[in-house]
A and B are shown apart, each in its own frame.
Chain A
Amino acid sequence: MSDSVIAHTLPNGMLVLLKEAHGAPVATSWIWYRVGSRNEASGRTGISHWVEHMLFKGTPQIPAGHLDRLVARNGGVFNGFTWIDYTAYYETLPADRIALGLQIESDRMVNALFAEEEVESERTVIISELEGYANEPETWLDEAVKDAAFTRHPYRHPVIGYRADLEAMTRADLYDHYQTFYMPNNAVLVLVGDFNADAMLRQAEAAFADLPAGPPLPQAPTAEPTPQAERRVIVRRPGPAAYVQIGYLAPDCRSPDFAPLAILDSALSGAKSLTFMGGGTQTNRSARLYPALVESGLAASAWSGVTPSRDPYLFELGATASEGVDPAAVEAALIAEVTKIQQDGIAESELARTRKQMRAQVAYSGESVTNQAMQLGMWEALDSYRRVDTLLDELASVSAEDVRRVAQTYLTSHRRTVGYFVPDESA
């Protein structure tokens, strides 16, 4: 896919990626900023996500409440999201309207108002978003596991932020974060769709080339020290079931061990599309965890996952215990599956299956221009857009022995945080 991408860096440092796709008369415009919860200091948790919300709250050219109607009027859809390493915005439109996406993004890269009353109104909207997540028992467990798994690195705090920080942050804090990270030299523009790439590049240049480059970005966050002992957390709250979540500190996505870890994850719970919007197919029921945990009756569901990240993040496993099953039994069954791979590796047939599944997942996610642009942008924000293709090559060259080696290296007890959610009506 990346062979047909045109990559062009503007003088202000902004990278533009363009790819023609003529399957349907639609086009998508994405802008990615290398900022997320990774870049947040203590006391400012959730600031990247809040800034993302403020980018929908008006500029002098497009006042608050107008952006959504402007996109809708042109037959388009839009959204924005914030993650640990990046923040992204997109507009998908009928192809002849795609210039609107460029107009919106170049405008709000520099002109977002952050009006005081809009900041206050959005504070309660975001607290409401946080409260929605807090209704789910899985959120409490996930936050407890991340908080224990990381001691120094900002990955320990939730992307939405801590409530106390959301209550305390000011307009000045938000605007400062915006001015620091929303710069052409920290952004990637991705355009995919039914257009002529040369003409589209000229439009992108017209929209963005005059925006000034910003100062150098703040230093990367402190590395997480290698854990030396297993950590355990138990959350007791009202809830419908017991949940188990295990995280092992794993290397970042640029590591040569990332591809073997992705295969390891696939052996446990099937190959996934490595981007958010999925669109792929279910592949977990013929993998290892499903028969061991679900068909055995121990769990109602079981999962694993590896997240491509800038800094070392987690290789995770989890399950929802069946009624009456002790979470310790679920934990033991999850770890037993890891141990088997550490001892015996995986079969050649599992490797072959994973490769075919990955090819299929890539084909499915390539169906929509929105998904194609998301893959290119996500990989460029983390590493390089070429990874969309080179990762497939890396996966193809992983051996069964590589998988056993990374399981032995990273999925060790001292790199592990184990969390239980135990339903407790009295808590």
Chain B
Amino acid sequence: MTEINNTIEKSPVKLTREDFVSDQMVKWCPGCGDHAILASVSKVFPEIGYKKENFVFVSGIGCSSRFPYYVNTYGFHSIHGRATPIASGVKIANPKLSVWIVTGDGDSMAIGGNHFIHIIRRNIDVNILLLNNRIYGLTKGQYSPTSPLGSITKTSPYGTIEHPFNPGELVLGAQGTFYARALDVNPKLMTEIMFEAARHDGTSVVEVLQNCVIFNDGAYDDITDKSVRDDRTIVLRAGEKMIFGINRDKGLHLKGTSLEVVTIGQDGITEDDLLVHDPYQADPGIHLMLAKMSGPDFPVALGVIRSAKCYPTYDDLMEEQIAEISAKSKIRCMDDLLMSGDTWTV
């Protein structure tokens, strides 16, 4: 892992997983995907290396939003949909904090949808963990904005009649600079992605496809089951060929302006014909195509899909503006301001 380089103060001692374990009882259902995500956070935070006091978790409402209670950092469990603006306030007020948002598909895509696109547009340097189980869990099983068309749930007994959001498309549509996708059943990849998210300057969104054992069990079986996972997902890594498949013989290739799945050795295709992943390129075109891939014709893309440094962060611009205007201004304090402009003495 490459070192993280920014103004957040590093810990003088090497921290361990235990430094981030909270004294609270974890109350998620046994078998819930959230447990694995919590484990990954506890594992990656010591690697990130900041002082433990500099981490802040902010969440909204939902099963995933209980997260701050279960990790020993500064934490704020807020109200439905509003973790993003609260975290924006935290980061802008004190840019020397490492701010993490934990949210779900209801919290971020429905009630908090407006805030979600605006935090991304502003490129505030926070990290969003979007735990997507495609269902409302805490209210016991209603469909969410990411439930596939036709989903049978407690509020859609005859199947949903609305099209779901693909969070990756929203992130890129809002001019996002970082988007990654992980599986709760692959903690190694998840940890790797979280580190990259921390390293990125700007809003990072990590979507974790997460299983709800109670209300939507098996929602991702068609891609996560060990027997099919390698054929139905592709792990993208910077600078590497886009190869997947249990036999590592399939790949992605650009045909005209569209992606195409090809098999190495068939129709004269060699490894050289496959695309090389570049998450750092400013143009989001190919990132959008990768984020949108789904079965049965395409594998679901995992890993860091986009990590572009195409514009500065809001918090950096704010600090720069304050420094620049302060240097120029003759008004240094309230007494100066009160006496500025038109005044007269009696």
A and B co-occur in one complex: no
| B contacts, CB < 8 Å to A | none
